[in-house]
Amino acid sequence: MTIKNAIKNNLNPRPTLLSIGVFFSTAMLSVTAMAETASETQELHEVEVTAEKKSDTKPVKGYHAKRSTSATRTDTELVNVPQAITVITRDFMQDQSMQSIADAVRYVPGVQAAQGEGNRDQLVLRGNQTTGDLFVDGMRDDIQTYRDLYNTDRIEVLKGPNGMIFGRGGAGGVVNRVSKKAGWDPVKDLSVSYGSFDHRRITADYGQGLSDELAFRLNAVYENSNSYRDGVELKRYGITPTFTIKPGDKTEIILSAEYFKDERTADRGVPAQATRTGTLTVNNADLNRRPYRIGDYDQFFGNARLSPTQTETTAFNAIISHAFDNGVQVKNSTRLAFYDKFYQNIYADSPVSTTGTLTISAYRDDTKRENLINQTDITYKAKIGNVEHQLLAGAELNAQDTDNKRLTGTSVNGVSASAPYANIAINTLARNQKSDFTVAAFYLQDQIVFNPQWQAVVGLRHDHLDTRYVDAFNNQTINVSNNLLSPRAGLIFKPSENSSLYANYSTSYVPRAGDQLIGLTVSTASFKPEKFINKEIGAKWDINPNLALTAAVFQLERENVLAADPLNTGNSILLDGQETKGLEVGLSGKVTDQWQVMGAFTLQEGEITKQQGAGNSAILAGSHLAMTPTRTFSLWNKYQINDTWAVALGMVSRSEMYAATPTASQSTLLPGYTRFDAAIFAKLSPQWDAQINIENLTNKDYALFAHNNNNITPGAPLNARATLNYHF
C-alpha cells in the first residue's frame, strides 16, 4: 500500500483518533517498505575498470602495431587488411639503435637493402629494386638520398603492388614513414650516442600542449661520424617543428616543416675478383666471380676525398581533417618539397684482373627536384541491409619537376689493387636532361563486412600522367601521356575475431618519370610503363593482444622491366619478363610480459623468364634476379630481467645472392652469412636510461650488399654504440 492509497482509504470529513492512528501506522509501514526496497535495488557491487591511456605522441608501444592507415587510407586493424604488412615501431628502432632504413628492413620479410652507389636508400622488395617507392605520411618522397629516422614514429612496409593506394610505383611494395606528431601528452627527450669509428650523434624531441586547442613538437638531430671504411665520413643535421591545431572536437589541422642536410662520402665498396674461365650457364656457381678480398673491409677503391655526396631537403606539410555530423569524413594532405643533391664518385669500374689490376672511373651527378602533392580522401560508413560498407573516394594531384646533369672523367686502366687510388678530373658533360611530370588521379574503394566471418576490400584507381622530357645533350624532346587503371581486390575469412585468412590481387604501373629516366637510353618506346601483377594468399593471427604471427605466399610478375645495365655502369636497360615467387613469415610483439621478439623469414625465387639480348651480353632465361637471396632469416629477442636491467640478442642471416642479374659473360656471387648482434639496457632512474648495442659479435667477414658486379659493400666488423637518454 502506498502513502497515496493510505490517505485515500482513511480520509473522511471527521477523522477519529483511530483513523488518524491507522493512517500514520500505514504510512510508516509503507515508507519502511519503500526504504527497504530502495536499499535492495540500489545496492551495487564495486567494479574496477582500468585502461591504459592512449598517448597522442606515442600511439604505438612495444614491437607490435595493431592498426594502420597506410594500406587502405582508413584506420583499419592489420588483421583485417588482405596484404602482407610489417610495421617497425619506434620502440624497436630505439632498442636496435637503428641508423637507417637499411637497418630497419633487416627485420622485414621479403625486403633487402642494396648499396645505392653509396649515395641513397635503395631497396629490393620481392626482387624489385627501387629508389622511388618511399613515402612519408602517405605522400611521395622519392628523391635519391638517405633518410634519417630522428622524426619517424614508425615505418610501415607494404609488400606487393600498391598502385590503388599510392599511385605510380608501389610495385614490389612501398615503405611509408609515419612522422612524429605534436600532441598534448608531453615529450621531453634528449639522446646522445657514441660508438666505434667515432660515431657521434645527438637527437632531441620536445613537445607539449600550448593550450587546449594548440600543441607543439620539435625534433632535431646532429651527427658527425666516421666509418669502418677508410676515408668515409658522415655529417647530417635536421630540424622539424610540428603544430597540431584542434579548433573543435571534429576538426584537426597538422602543420609541419623540415630542413635536413646530409653530407657524406659516396662509398661504392670493393670490386670483384677476376672471372673464372669458361662460359657461364644459368646459375652455374663454379663460374661466378667473388668479392675481392672481402676481409680487407676498410680499403677504399678510388678516391674517398674526391667522392662527396650532399643532399639538402626543405619540405612543408599540411594535413586538415574534419568529421561532419552526417558521418562523412574529409582529409586533405599537401606536401611541397624541394630537393638539391649532388654526388661525385671515383670508384672501381672493373673486376681485379688475374694480374692484380683494375679500372677506376669517375663522374659527378647533379639533381634538383620540386614536388607538389595534394591528396583528398572522403570516407563514409553505410549499412545496406546486414552488409556494412566503409567507402573511400579520393583524388591526387601531383607535379614533379626534375633537372639532372652528369659530368664524367677519363677512366684510368691498370691501377694496382694493392694501391687502388686515382685522381681523375671530372669535366666532360655527358648528360643534361629535364623532366616535367604531372599526375591527376581518382580512386574508389569499398571495405565490405558481409558478416562476422567474411569481409572484402575492392578498389580501382585511374591515373592520367603527362610527361615532358627534354634531353638538351642530344637535342631531343619527348611528350608522353598515359592513362593507367590499377585495380585491387581482396577477400578475407575470419575464423575468429583475432585471426584471418585472405586472398589478394593487385596491379601497379611504373611510368618513366624522375629517377626512372636517369641513365635510360631514351626513345618513345622506352616510356612504356612497367607493369606489375601480384597474387597473394596469407594468414594473420594475433596470438594474444600483444603478439602477432603473419604468413603470405605470393607470385609477382613484372613486364617491361627497367634494370641496371650489368655491362655499362650508370646506365639502364629494359627487360621483357621477370617473376618472383615466395613465402614470407613475420612475428612481432610480446611472448611474455618480459620477452619481446621481432622476426622475419623468407623463401623466394626470383628469375628472368625470357632471354634478353644475345652473345656475351645476353641475360639468360632462368637467371636469378639481382640482390634477391633464396632465404633470409632474422630474429631479435629482448628480455626484461627486472625493472632496471634488460638484455637482447639478435641474428641476421641470408643465403648467397647475385650482385647483379647474371649475363652470359659476367656474374658476381655474394656468399651467404650469419651475423649475431646483442644489447644491454639499464633504467638508471626515472629520468635516465642507457643502452649498449653490439653488432657482429663474432667479427664475421661478409659482403653486406652491392650495386652491381664491381661495387660491393663489405659488412662492418665487430663494433659497438653506447646511448644515454635523458627524459626531463
**Rounded alpha-carbon distances, angstroms, from residue 21 to 5, 7, 35:** 15, 12, 21
Distance CA 592, CA 640 (A): 10
Q: Are residues 710 and 612 part of one domain?
A: yes
Q: Which residues lie across from 466 on neighbouring strands?
A: 438, 481
Query: Which of 478-482, 552-556, 611-615, 658-662 has the least mean pLDDT?
Result: 611-615
Report phi then psi at 311, rounded to 5.
-130, 130
Q: For position 519, what pLDDT does the model report?
A: 53
- pLDDT for 175-234, tens place per residue? 999 999 999 999 999 999 999 999 999 999 999 999 999 999 999 999 999 999 999 999
Core vs surface per residue 430-457: b (16+ CB within 10 A) or e: ebbbbbbbbbebebebebbbeeeeebeb
Distance CA 216, CA 451 (A): 43
Query: Are both 508 and 638 inside the same structural domain?
Result: yes
Average pLDDT over residues 325-329: 95
pLDDT of residue 155: 97
C-alpha cell of residue 242: 610540428
pLDDT, position 528: 78
| 583 and 624 both lie in a single domain | yes
Q: What is the pLDDT of residue 37?
A: 44
Does residue 514 sit within a domain?
yes
Q: Are 515 and 399 in the same domain?
A: yes
pLDDT at 595 over 60: yes
Indicate whether 561 and 444 sit together in one domain.
yes
Whether residue 434 has pLDDT greater than 50: yes
User: Where in the sequence is the domain holding 429, given as residue range(s)?
Assistant: 67-727
**Residues 71, 12 within the same domain:** no
Q: What is the pLDDT of residue 427?
A: 93
- Whether residue 168 has pLDDT greater than 90: no
Q: What is the pLDDT of residues 664-694, one digit of tens each?
A: 777 899 999 999 999 999 999 999 999 999 9
Asked if the structure places residue 418 within a domain, the reply is yes
According to DSSP H, which parts of 375-435 are helical? none
C-alpha grid cell, residue 659: 650482385
- What is the distance of C-alpha 153 from the center of its chain? 11
Q: How many other CB atoms are there within 10 angstroms of residue 389's CB atom?
A: 13
So what's the pLDDT on residue 277?
45
Residue 321 within a domain = yes
pLDDT at 283 over 60: no
pLDDT of residue 616: 67
Q: Is residue 41 part of a domain?
A: no
Question: pLDDT by residue (tens digit) across 487-545?
Answer: 999 999 999 999 999 999 999 888 876 565 555 555 555 677 888 899 999 999 999 99
Q: Specify the 3-state DSSP secondary structure of 104.
A: helix
In a domain, 613, yes or no: yes
Non-local CB neighbours of 511 within 8 Å, separated by 6+ positions = 168, 465, 467, 482, 484, 527, 529
Give domain status of residue 45, yes or no: no
Q: Span 638-662, mean pLDDT?
A: 96
216/307 same-domain check: yes
Q: How large is the angle between the packed helices 17-42 and 3-10, nearest 10 degrees?
A: 170
How many Cβ atoms from other residues are within 10 Å of residue 133's Cβ? 26
**Strand 688-695 relative to strand 657-658, pairing:** unpaired
Cβ-based neighbours of 73, under 8 Å, separated by 6 or more: 138, 165, 377, 379, 392, 394, 445
Determine the 3-state secondary structure of 15 from DSSP.
coil
- Give the angle subtended at the CA of 343 by the CAs of 337 and 349, to the nearest 5°: 140
Which among 220, 240, 224, 203 has a CA at the least distance from the CA of 724? 203
Contact call for residues 531 and 559 (beta carbons, < 8 A): yes
SS3 6: helix
249, burial (CB in 10 Å: exposed 0-12, middle 13-18, buried 19+)? exposed
Same domain, 469 and 323: yes
Lowest mean pLDDT among 4-13, 184-193, 361-370, 566-575: 4-13
pLDDT at 372 over 70: yes
Per DSSP, the chain holds a count of helices (H) and strands (E) of: 5, 39
pTM (two decimals): 0.88
| Predicted pLDDT at 513 | 63
Specify if 46 maps to a domain: no
CATH of the domain at 188: 2.40.170.20
C-alpha cell at 417: 689493387
pLDDT tens digits for range 2-48: 444 443 444 343 443 334 343 333 433 343 344 444 445 555 555 55
51 in any annotated domain:
no
Same domain, 8 and 137: no
Q: Are residues 28 and 74 in the same domain?
A: no
pLDDT at 119 over 90: yes
Please give the average per-residue pLDDT across 434-443, as a whole number: 94
Average pLDDT over residues 67-89: 95
- pLDDT value of residue 223: 98
Q: Looking at the structure, do residues 25 and 107 belong to the same domain, yes or no? A: no
**Pick from 166-170, 239-243, 390-394, 446-450: least confident:** 166-170
Contact predicate 536/504, CB 8 Å: yes
What is the rounded average pLDDT of the residues 306-326?
97
In this predicted structure, the answer to whether residue 707 has a pLDDT above a threshold of 70 is: yes
DSSP 8-state secondary structure symbol assigned to residue 91: H
Q: Cα(first)–Cα(last) distance of the chain, in Å?
A: 68
The predicted structure's pLDDT at residue 664: 74
Please, what is the Cα angle at 171 between 330 and 551, to 5 degrees? Answer: 90
Q: What is the pLDDT of residue 282?
A: 46
What is the overall mean pLDDT for the chain?
88
Say whether both 32 and 73 belong to one domain: no
Residue 170 has what pLDDT? 75
What is the tally of structural domains in the chain?
A: 2
pLDDT at 621: 82
